[in-house]
Amino acid sequence: MSRKGENIYKRKDGRWEGRYIRDRRSDGSIHYGYVYAYSYNEVKQKLIPLKKEELYVNHSRAIDSPYVLHWVQEWLDKENKRLKLSTYSTYKYKLQRYVLPILGSNRLSELTTQSLQELIDNYQINYHLSASTIRNIFQILQKVLNEAIKKGYIVEDICATVVLPKQTKRRIYALSQSEQRKLEGACRRSSNGLPTLLALYSGLRIGEIAALSWEDIDFENHLLYVNHTYQRIVTASKEQKTTLYLGSTKTETSRRVVPLSKTIISLLRDRKLNHTGKYLFMANGQPMEPRLLNYHFKKIVSQSKIKDIHFHQLRHTFATRCMEASGDIASVSALLGHSSTKTTLDVYVDSVIEQRKKIICKVEEMVNF
């Protein structure tokens, strides 16, 4: 067993072993050195000059460390080769918007846990960012700094003890059944109501609906294949701040197959007869972008006379109706494209509780017949 923080161990052969960082390999991994003696104190004394040398080498390496601005750009250039364009764009925007203006002129060696904590506090006090946004920015920054640690530009993990703001779970509201009926009525009276109906009966995200092509619809088997998403992403160009991007779905589990009801299949058949083109919803020869879909959706909501809602609540409404229909959590999770049933349970806990209440009522009815 080692003495805490000293890397000195008692071996089975009776000797004591001490470990120190000898150097780092070209990939950034640590190469350890070892010393041995028959007493703990003797090993400790042997380690003193070796650890002093280690600190000197690390300090010299840290002095030559690059500026945060240059390191972030180098890291982004490397990540650009392996990340989806949408993910890369998000990383780049958040680093340039929230990290570089504050830390960019520092050398990596100058960063400390305290400087990172001040950064987080600044986000809360001056930027008024939500806890989830702050956590997301910090996760990206942590990736950047972990790579710097591997290169030896930073000698310790300065992210480990940073205190992040606690996330408060926002309650997700779904439409009631009566509200849904009103909204569906408005959809049927509108020439642009099909995307909203499709969201209500499939749980697709707005970007997934925008990207749907006719090849994704299996009319014979009443199935819809979710493979792509169409979204507006931030660019580095000053002339054009955003651009539309058709890419693969959010995650691997987001690629999924969703059964469609007879009503939705019928509406899709009618649309295919009256619309030409590759995609279900098009504008100017291209997929209809989410902003335009949302514009039509807001008009329909207004006409339906229900409370103002956002498009993503249609997805929550779909999940809630599935729960009310006694759908098992694994099936609902798969329909939504969640990475795990835990995600579904965390998001739709209220619906799950309501289903459990119904089960208890049914049990009581069975016993007290």
Considering the chain, tell me which residue range(s) the CATH 1.10.443.10 domain(s) occupy. Answer: 177-362
* Residue 241, pLDDT above cutoff 80: no
Percent of the chain scoring above 70 in pLDDT: 85
CB atoms within 10 A of CB 286: 14
Residue 155, exposed/middle/buried by CB under 10 A (0-12, 13-18, 19+)? middle
3-state SS, residue 43: helix
Closest CA to 205 of 226, 225, 184: 226
What is the per-residue pLDDT for 338? 84
Angle between helix 68-79 and helix 85-94 axes, rounded to 10 deg? 170
Q: Tokens 């959590």 — which residue?
A: 329
Least confident of 1-5, 16-20, 139-143, 342-346: 1-5
Question: Are the CB atoms for 59 and 153 separated by under 8 Å?
Answer: no
Considering the chain, tell me which residue range(s) the CATH 1.10.150.130 domain(s) occupy. Answer: 68-151
What is the per-residue pLDDT for 4? 46
Instruction: Give how far Cα 355 sits from Cα of 317, 324, 358, Å.
Output: 15, 7, 5
Least confident of 77-86, 112-121, 138-147, 258-267: 77-86
3-state SS, residue 4: coil
Q: Over the stretch 145-169, which tens digit does the pLDDT of each residue have?
A: 999 988 888 878 899 999 999 987 6
* Residue 362, pLDDT above cutoff 90: no
Q: What is the mean pLDDT of residues 246-275?
A: 88
What is the per-residue pLDDT for 274? 86
* Residue 25, pLDDT above cutoff 90: no
CATH architecture for segment(s) 177-362: Orthogonal Bundle (1.10)
Q: What is the mean pLDDT of residues 94-109?
A: 93
User: Can you tell me the distance from the alpha carbon of 254 to that of 252, in angstroms, rounded to the nearest whole number?
Assistant: 5
What is the per-residue pLDDT for 104? 94
User: Can you tell me the distance from the alpha carbon of 369 to that of 367, in angstroms, rounded to the nearest whole number?
Assistant: 6
What is the per-residue pLDDT for 53? 65
Question: Are the CB atoms for 145 and 102 separated by under 8 Å?
Answer: no
* Residue 239, pLDDT above cutoff 90: no
What is the per-residue pLDDT for 243? 84
Q: Which two tokens stand for residue 205?
A: 């995200």
Tell whether pTM > 0.75.
no
- Give 360 or 300, the one with higher predicted confidence: 300
User: Can you tell me the distance from the alpha carbon of 352 to that of 343, in angstroms, rounded to the nearest whole number?
Assistant: 13
Q: What is the mean pLDDT of residues 196-222?
A: 96
* Residue 84, pLDDT above cutoff 70: yes
Backbone angles phi, psi at 129, to 5 degrees: -80, 150
Q: Over the stretch 286-320, which tens digit does the pLDDT of each residue have?
A: 999 999 999 999 999 999 999 999 999 999 999 88
**CATH placement of domain 68-151:** 1.10.150.130
What is the per-residue pLDDT for 5? 47
Q: Any alpha helices (H) in the chain, and if so which ranges?
A: 40-63, 68-79, 85-94, 100-103, 113-122, 131-151, 177-189, 194-202, 206-210, 262-274, 290-304, 312-324, 329-336, 341-347, 349-367
Q: In which element (H, E) is residue 245 found? A: strand 242-248
pLDDT category, 100, cuts 50, 70, 90?
Answer: very high
Q: What is the mean pLDDT of residues 215-233?
A: 94
Sequence-separated (6 or more) residues with CB below 8 Å from residue 21: 30, 31, 32, 33, 54
pLDDT category, 209, cuts 50, 70, 90?
Answer: very high
